[in-house]
A and B are shown apart, each in its own frame.
Chain A
Amino acid sequence: MIGIFFWLFAALLTVSGLLAITRRNAVSAALWAAVSFIAIAGIFVLLQAYFLAVVEVLVYAGAIMVLFLFVIMLLNLREEDLQVLEGPRLHILGVLLAAGFLGGLVWTCRRAGLYDAKNGAIKMTAESVGETKSLAAPLFMEYVLPFEIASFLLLAAIVGAVLITKKRLT
């Protein structure tokens, strides 16, 4: 059962990701990206990362994509500004590099035995269930310092974004 869903989400993720980077129109690209985020959220659910799945949908497919769409519409780009892809040479180079990268990855996973049914099996234990409560405990105890630093990072990002988008720095 899980396997079927995995392949379903995997296919959805791949297709929507490909569509997201090939759409001429930025709005449809962003919407396809949102679909791919939802697919990832689905896989998170399969892996018992329930909290992250929710966060993925809320933050990525929700907040970040809304921000993207908002900016796209704010800029209101004309049609001729939007070419689909680069010139053929660079395009081919990019695909070749990507293929090399992916090939290397698969080869390494194979060598490490990650496809092996026994070695690479995913253990669904009670400890690895990513619910809100089970994630909160380490987050506020073990990782409290990075957590606080992350809040400062967000603050800096907010101030920075406001400062950068201001019309004139005075």
Chain B
Amino acid sequence: MAFLAWVTLLAPLIAAITLLVRPRLRGSSGGPKLAIFSVFICAATSLVFWLFRSETVTTSFEWMTVGDLTISIGLLVDNLSTLMLLVVGLVGSAIFVFARGYMKGDPSIGRFYAKFALFVFSMLGIVLADNFLMMFIFWELVGASSYLLIGYYFEKPSACDAAKKAFLTNRVADFGFLLGILMIWSLTGSFEFAKIADAVKDGDVSGPQWQLTLAGILIFVGAMGKSAQVPFHVWLPDAMEGPTPVSALMHAATMVAAGVFMIIRAFSCFDLGVGATALGGASMFIATTGGVTAFLAATIALVQRDIKKVLAYSTLSQLGYMVMALGAGAYSIAMFHLTTHAFFKGLLFLCAGSVIHGCHHEQDMFKMGGLRKKMPATFWCFTIGMFALMGLAPLAGFFSKDLIIDSLHQKHLVGLQIGATVTAALTALYMTRAWLLTFFGEYRGHATPHESPPVMTRPLKFLAFVSAVIGLVFYYGHGQDYLSAWHGKFAGPLHMDPTIAVVSTVAGVVGFLIALALYKKSHRGGEKIVARFPRLHSLLVEKYYIDDSYHWLVQNVQQVIARGCRWFEEAIVVGVLVGWPVGVTRWTGDRLRRMQSGRLAFYASCFVGGVTILILFLYTVAH
């Protein structure tokens, strides 16, 4: 089993390296096949883990020892990581296959697959890591490979900017993560999850409670970057500049889920038993952040024109749900939603990719329409994904989303519970709007839309099937025990309050009906509302001016500081501190250079003179 874990981790890396060092392989069709094969291996091994693993698999070796600090590289396969492996493996496989169709004809498809495989490797590293430090390394690798993939179309300035933005935003948040890791290390003396958990359980923490809370918040800040929570969410919509399969894999199914996964992994160390945690006030902060993100993102999604942007904001919103669940201490439910979301959001993104592909790379929904008849397979898959997202029973989202609202209810977080319910309505509204604009009415574009080839629709069908059944499987079947069984200490079996289910379903239906009323007849149905609330509309279009305020902040605060630093560097450091020695050295050098006459006789004379003086000195002084 341990060997299998290493295979899972290293297969994509080997594929990536092979693709990088064998340029000929990149041009041929063998390159993509190799990458796809490596991801299939991951999917297969994760299925083996899922079905046949009876206990936690651990394997590790020591990497380096510095003083008391021992850093090890180790893999940990428990219920949590198996579930995450399954998500990465299955969704990844579907997307890898899909990308072969989507990226067909791209001259550098080999480079694409190399980066893609590298990304999967980094992601698996996070999932399998058994200590914080290794997780952090792969965490940064995910950031780096996402930079590479978002900036895949590097000839486009906007793609480069988006890549930089994603990387830098993540870096800021990662700094919090690093600080959190170091803080935990100083508190418990270990990086390993198991040891940290033991230390916390035994109360063997060398610091007061507030420090532990602070460490929890710092780690959460790291997750806020990857999982795109307010105020670090700005990179995710821009990251849609990458190819659509990238958006599907990274910015819907796995990378953004890494933040949530990391929190679950990290916070399970702080769990003291059913419902209790050693983190104190951190949970409230987390839950609120999630709620704000969920609501803001859902409202922004209402006014987007780009189909991928709608899905991007929808992703933000759903991540907000997961984070709310984390805040409420319902880790298993957050993981459940993560799993279902990965499948249906991957599905939706791939459908969007299929639509974009069919419309010859048109992304504006207002230039689509009527695709229902031209792309039937895509349409049906999108419909399933949409209803799964909206939470229509018995599709996947119904269970996971209602369980999150239920967990908020149990913690008496009434405000968040209402917010989540309203957001459910908004979710239905913007998804239905996108659905109607894209697939109904008359075609408004200029291309000739066509259904995508089977290499693209087959993964869609696979994901649609999984999205349809996974909620049932988990709620009623095998997953039930599975989700509640980590470390044997997470809150008991999943069960849903029927009232809440009804309320949130009603909310969804209301959103659906409003969208239907507005957009059923014409794609211009929203204009009346816009005319009535112009300021609200511009507020949403401008994304609550968050990007602009960052821009202002950079322009007026950071730039001023930077200019000051530059002045300091040029005038003080270069001018005085460095300038003085430089001047003296240059002057002396100029004078001394003349001694280098190039005449051997002169050198010999100097030598003899020196020796003479030395001898005389020794004769006179030493005696």
Contacts and interface: CB of A to CB of B under 8 A. Distances in A.
Direct contact of A and B (CB under 8 A): yes
Contacts of A98: 608
Contact of B612 (A86, A104, A108): A104
Contacts of B605: 90, 93-94, 97
A100 interface: yes
B568 interface: no
B401 to A, nearest CB: 78
Contacts of A100: 612, 616
A100 B610 CA distance: 12
Contacts of B608: 94, 97-98, 101
Nearest to B613: A100
B619 A108 contact: yes
B444 to A, nearest CB: 76
Interface residues of A, number: 12
Given A104-B619, A108-B619, A97 B601 contact: no
Interface in A3-42: none
Contacts of A108: 619
Interface in B570-623: 599, 601-602, 605, 608-609, 611-612, 615-616, 619, 623
Interface string B326-356: 0000000000000000000000000000000
Contacts of B612: 97, 100-101, 104
Interface string B530-554: 0000000000000000000000000
Contacts of B623: 111
Interface string B194-216: 00000000000000000000000
A47 B602 CA distance: 37
A94 B603 CA distance: 11
Contacts of A107: 619
Contacts of B601: 86, 90, 94
Interface residues of B, number: 12
User: Which of the listed residues B599, B602, B605 has the most CB atoms from chain A within 10 Å of its own CB?
Assistant: B605
A108 B619 CA distance: 7
B609 A104 contact: no
Interface in A65-121: 86, 90, 93-94, 97-98, 100-101, 104, 107-108, 111
Nearest to A104: B616
Contacts of A93: 605
A97 B609 CA distance: 6
The interface residues of chain A, by DSSP majority, are classed as helix
Nearest to A86: B601
B615 A104 contact: yes
B318 to A, nearest CB: 71
Contacts of A90: 599, 601-602, 605
Contacts of B599: 90
A100 B616 CA distance: 9
A109 to B, nearest CB: 11
Contacts of A97: 605, 608-609, 612
A90 to B, nearest CB: 6
A144 to B, nearest CB: 33
Contacts of A86: 601
A86 B286 CA distance: 88
User: Which of the listed residues A90, A97, A107, A108 has the most CB atoms from chain B within 10 Å of its own CB?
Assistant: A97
Nearest to A107: B619
A2 to B, nearest CB: 30
Nearest to A100: B612
A95 to B, nearest CB: 10
A101 B615 contact: yes
Nearest to B612: A101
Nearest to A108: B619
Nearest to A101: B612
A104 B619 CA distance: 8
Nearest to A94: B605
A104 B612 CA distance: 8
A107 B612 CA distance: 13
A101 B623 CA distance: 18
Interface string B447-458: 000000000000
A97 to B, nearest CB: 5
A113 to B, nearest CB: 13
Contacts of A111: 619, 623
B136 to A, nearest CB: 53
Contacts of A94: 601, 605, 608
A90 B611 CA distance: 17
B143 to A, nearest CB: 52
Contacts of B609: 97
B599 to A, nearest CB: 8
Contacts of B611: 101
A93 to B, nearest CB: 6
B207 to A, nearest CB: 65
B220 to A, nearest CB: 66
Interface string A104-142: 100110010000000000000000000000000000000
Interface string B133-169: 0000000000000000000000000000000000000
A104 B602 CA distance: 22
Interface in B291-350: none
B619 to A, nearest CB: 5
Contacts of B615: 101, 104
Interface in B374-428: none
A88 to B, nearest CB: 13
Given A97-B608, A97-B612, 15 more contacts: A90-B599, A90-B605, A94-B601, A94-B605, A94-B608, A97-B605, A100-B612, A101-B608, A101-B612, A104-B612, A104-B615, A104-B616, A104-B619, A108-B619, A111-B623
Interface of A: 86, 90, 93-94, 97-98, 100-101, 104, 107-108, 111
6 contacts: A86-B601, A94-B608, A98-B608, A104-B612, A104-B615, A111-B623
The 4 A-B residue pairs with the shortest CB-CB distance, nearest first, are A101-B612, A108-B619, A104-B616, A97-B608
